[in-house]
Structure 1
């Protein structure tokens, strides 16, 4: 039965490719369709929706990364693997009128214990949903921390660092000089000095590989 399904899938794929080859110049490619859906801006509601995938590795291993674009150098180091480019996410926040903090430097990331700086910038809200889960879950509720603090998510900005380093960092769990957004509740040096450890909460998040939607909203 399994082999029949595989064969049927191959036939269907071949058929679909033949349709594209025959030509329908007005139709978008699947890649274009995917790119259009992974990051959606709603100016009326002042929100951005980004598709991500759960990375189950961080149910048991610690990380300082909440969301990282899958094609960034840190793409496999986050609780959620972002399906949209972090630089386009930055542009989307600017388009909504959000103001970036741009107050942190690479040197700040070397802070000693109890000597860190907190990210600045407009305050944001982030919530998570997925198929079968209609209720919005605050982003902080999908994270377990060895020292819990209320999330204070900020638009750090850092676009020049993002372009230079190409880490893909969308949302860092402590204050960051490269992440587009990060949590001001945890100053720089928090994870580097092992003050706090962060994990994805497997009791809240769906299983590894599940596609979820993260909605970012500007707060005035």
Structure 2
């Protein structure tokens, strides 16, 4: 990289060199970048291809999962959620012990028993922290912290199929209203669990409302069960 001095003030490409402005100065350098053909075929770039393939699958699954969790994810108003989810989903993908590197999938990673720790430990509402805990086996939602002025929680139990759906993952909802204050809410037997089969991702999505029925902004909770 070199700096151009003198009266010439050009940007762009000239004679195989690239000229561009940086910090008020004209910088000259040889064009760089990756050779796409080599990356696609050269054995030296096999790890690059494998990483790109897995990143693409994580990104696609993450986009589908975010759509399946709407409108609750939108309530979080988290500009870095996409990146945080990508890292979490890549950690899940690495639990796929059946596939070789470059062929691993989030879906097979989810079949590992340890995957529930990763999903359960993920903090969806980073600004507000964890307010609730959802125990699917005990059929109980625990309220550890209730927002001030909240008199009601609307609870949506959403069961998401990680293997289904084109644009969005398919899901089934069961919705309850919970009067507050309340430390724990037991979900009745008639709560729509009959149609829920193994392999579904089980989420509790909680919105809090004040006495006027207005949604409390920034307090929405997303919990994996």
Shorter-chain TM-score: which interval?
A: 0.3 to 0.5
TM-score, normalised relative to structure 1: 0.33
Structure with higher Rg: it is 2
Task: Specify which structure has the bigger relative contact order, considering alpha-carbon pairs within 8 angstroms and separated by 6 or more residues.
Answer: 1
